[in-house]
Chains A and B, each alone.
Chain A
Amino acid sequence: MRTILQAEDITVRFGGLVALNGINLSVQEGQIHALIGPNGAGKTTLINVLSNVTTPTTGRVTFNGEPITGLPAHSATEKGIGRTFQNILLFAGATVLENVMIARHCRTKYGLLEAILRTRNVLNEEETVCQKALQELEFVGMADKASTIAGNLDHGGQRLLEIARALATEPSLLLLDEPSAGMNPQEVNTLMDLILRIRGRGITVLLIEHNMQLVMGIADVVTVLNFGEKIAEGTPKEIQNNKDVREAYLGRGIQYA
């Protein structure tokens, strides 16, 4: 198995607060890798570092063997890191289709002059944009909602659209920040199936989740963060039986003499 993403010694400080403290993480190609931990453990901060939204105070990230720390976020997307947001960040006023079309930006090339002259190249690229966008909507099961305004979708629909939009950037690594938040059990089942199908396309998935049914059901590897530090890593089985993880979530048991 090949390492697709390697984060070494990542530390992030916000003023006096240490959000992440010397985190090492390596994600293997083709796996579903889950990131869990109590609230405030630094999971979203880590995703922000990996997608170059936040620059770490120290440490470095390599993606496909190439250092990406310090690059602007759009070049991380270009290199193949797609992501969604915990607090859904759609283009709410645009239609569902337009949302996904915008995501094709980094996979199209034509410039201003070509756009004004509308060359053959432009027409070809625009046709591909539309096709690929529709394909991704089909993939997440939203093709029938293409002309709905994104802000009018129900919560589950908005989460799925975020995933479709991220997929449209053609990522080789997809970062999902709490994709199941606010979903009902039925929607969670659909989501689990969707994540497995995403892996089936050869896309590596790194996801933050609080839903243990989902994590234990589909993750290949689980990493546990607490107070900005990595406290455990292993298969779902190993994590379930890990003493430190139980303490982090439930507190220390009372010792009876």
Chain B
Amino acid sequence: MGRRTRCAVAVGVVTLLAVFPLVGVGPYYIRLLNLAGIYVILTLGLNFCVGMAGQISYAQASFFGIGAYASALLTLKTGVSFWAALPLSALVALVFGVLLGLPSLKVGRYYLAIVTIGFSEIVRLVLLNWKEVTYGAEGVKNIPVPTIGTFTLNTDLRYYYLVLTIVLFAVFVSIRIVHSRIGRALHAIRMSDLAAEVMGVNTRYYKILAFALSAFFGGLAGSLIAHYDTYLHANSFNFMESAKILCMLFIGGSGSIEGPIIGAVGLTLLPEWLRFLKDYYMAIYGVGVVLLMGVMPSGIRSLIPQLARFVQRLFTNKQRAVRSEH
């Protein structure tokens, strides 16, 4: 694809996403889309660590939580606006990301997974028990809704455009990083630590950078959820949440940009579409995830080339049909 076509496609997709919720989609669906967007940011973040650098992390929900709490507490206790709290909370998460990245220099892959599980439990317990700062088990209430002047982002639709903006930012940053020397260095580390190092990649720096980027995106998502739900509880940022984000990454296809997006949107909407199954819906959902991983080990994304060929054939056939009519 040339530069022109890529630009045209990007503009088309953005316009579609901007107009989509205006045409007869109810608030329930817009809320789902907002959640999907937040998960897209989380999954794209985790993609730096797991998909690109190959460092297994079960801590993405912790960065989500750290960002959410940082943003909520900053606005409630110091009175700064959401617009300052959003980047600040991402930076707070980033600092913790660097801290979690340090053991990755010493510990091998499977053991690193255990370290990240430990980290996420510690984060949850601190958030749950540090009453003086985090309000403990009561959770954080009355988190202010973002405003622009006198305009309040107090409906799902209004919040949708905020989420969409941050999602586009996350996608943009991800694309730029993947196609740079930084992306190549991260991929090299996943494929072979030693070979990457000998090719001149400072593997220590880049492993920590991968964790930092993951955490930064996690923090952005956290800030968004805090001011959307206006209520936080430490138990929402548990191990299962991290596992869900990992699922989204692998089901969509890790290491790419489109994979995490497909995975995050798919796994947010799918359970909702299965609700008619009542009591069994989570069981069916689980079986579906297992089957999907079995049939497409490199994720749903592996369907895209086939789909593209199919569409191309469809178009060329149509052109031929039009030509033969003349």
A interface residue numbers (CB < 8 A to B): 51, 53, 72-74, 77-78, 83, 85, 89-94, 98, 101-108, 110, 112, 115-118, 122, 125-126, 129, 165, 169
Partner of A105, one of B172, B176, B184, B191: B184
Listed in ascending order, the chain B residues whose CB lies under 8 Å from chain A are 172-173, 176-177, 180-182, 184-185, 187-188, 191-192, 194-204, 209
User: Interface of chain B, helix or strand or loop or mixed?
Assistant: helix
Q: Are the C-beta atoms of A102 and B184 separated by less than 8 Å? A: yes
**Are A83 and B198 interface neighbours, CB within 8 A?**
yes
- Whether A72 and B204, one on each chain, are in contact in the complex, defined by CB atoms closer than 8 angstroms, is yes
Give 10 new A-B contacts, CB below 8 A, not counting A72-B197, A94-B187.
A74-B197, A74-B201, A83-B198, A85-B198, A89-B198, A93-B191, A106-B200, A107-B200, A116-B172, A126-B180
Q: B196 contacts A116, CB within 8 Å?
A: no
Q: Which of A51, A110, A126 contacts B198 (CB 8 A)?
A: A51
B177 partner residues in chain A, CB cutoff 8 A:
112, 115-116
Q: State how many angstroms separate the Cβ of B223 from the closest Cβ of chain A.
A: 20
When the two chains form their complex, are residues A105 and B199 in contact, meaning their CB atoms are under 8 A apart? yes
Name the B residues within 8 Å of A108 (CB-CB).
181
Do the beta carbons of B181 and A89 come within 8 Å of each other? Answer: no
User: Contacts A91-B187, A91-B195; is A115 near B181 (CB within 8 Å)?
Assistant: yes
Write out the residue numbers on chain B whose beta carbons fall within 8 Å of the beta carbon of A126: 180-181
Q: Which 7 A-B residue pairs are closest in the complex by CB-CB distance?
A: A106-B200, A115-B180, A77-B200, A91-B191, A89-B195, A103-B199, A73-B197
Inter-chain contacts of A51 with B (CB < 8 A): 198
Interface centre among A78, A89, A101 (most CB of B within 10 A): A89
Q: Give A165's nearest chain B residue, CB to CB.
A: B199
Chain B residue with minimal CB distance to A150? B191
Let me know if A105 and B201 touch, CB within 8 A.
yes
Q: Once the chains bind, are B204 and A105 in contact (CB under 8 Å)?
A: no
Known: A89-B192, A115-B176, A118-B176. A102 touches B201 (CB 8 A): yes
Are A106 and B199 in touch, CB under 8 angstroms? yes
Question: Residue of B at shortest CB range from A114?
Answer: B180
B-chain residues with CB within 8 Å of residue A53 when the two chains form the complex: 194, 197-198
A91 to B255, CA, bound (A): 15
Bound together, the chains give a CA A101 to CA B177 distance in angstroms of: 15
* In contact, A102 and B182 (Cβ under 8 angstroms): no
Report the separation of the CA atoms of residues A102 and B173 in the bound assembly, to the nearest whole angstrom: 20
With a CB–CB cut-off of 8 A, which chain A residues contact B194? 53, 73, 89
Of all chain B residues, the one with the shortest Cβ separation from A151 is: B191
Do A110 and B181 contact each other (CB < 8 Å), given the known contacts A72-B204, A116-B173?
yes
Please give the distance in Å from B284's CB to the nearest CB on chain A. Answer: 34
Also in contact, A74 and B192, with CB within 8 A (given A102-B184, A116-B177): no
List of B residues within 8 angstroms of A118 by Cβ: 176
Please determine whether A74 and B200 come into contact, CB atoms closer than 8 angstroms: yes
Alpha-carbon gap, A105 to B185, bound state (A): 7
Q: In the complex, which residues of chain A have a beta carbon less than 8 angstroms from the beta carbon of B197?
A: 53, 72-74
Q: A77 to B182, alpha carbons, bound, how many Å?
A: 17
A116 touching B191 in the complex, CB below 8 Å, given contacts A74-B201, A110-B181: no
Would B202 and A74 count as touching, CB distance under 8 A? Answer: yes
- Contacting pair A116 B176 (CB below 8 A): yes
Residues from chain A with a CB closer than 8 A to the CB of B191 are 91-94
In contact, A169 and B200 (Cβ under 8 angstroms): yes
Query: Looking at the complex, which one of B184, B187, B188, B198 makes contact with A77 (CB distance below 8 Å)?
Result: B198
Q: Kindly state the separation between the CA atoms of A92 and B172 in the bound complex, as whole angstroms.
A: 28
CA distance A104 to B196 in the complex (A): 11
Most buried by B among A77, A93, A103, A117: A103
CB-CB nearest in chain A for B203: A74
CB distance from A77 to the nearest CB of B (A): 4
Could you tell me the distance between the alpha carbons of A116 and B204 in the complex, rounded to whole angstroms? 21
User: CB-CB < 8 A to B180: which residues of A?
Assistant: 110, 115, 122, 126
CA gap between A110 and B197 in the complex, in Å: 18
Contacts A/B (CB < 8 Å), 24 sampled: A72-B202, A73-B198, A74-B197, A74-B198, A74-B202, A77-B199, A77-B200, A83-B198, A89-B194, A89-B198, A91-B191, A92-B191, A94-B187, A98-B184, A102-B184, A102-B201, A105-B200, A106-B199, A106-B200, A112-B177, A115-B177, A122-B180, A126-B180, A165-B199
Nearest CB in chain B: distance from A122 CB, A: 7
In the complex, what residue of chain B is closest to A115 when comparing beta carbons?
B180
Task: For B181, list chain A residues within 8 Å (CB).
Answer: 104-105, 108, 110, 115, 125-126, 129
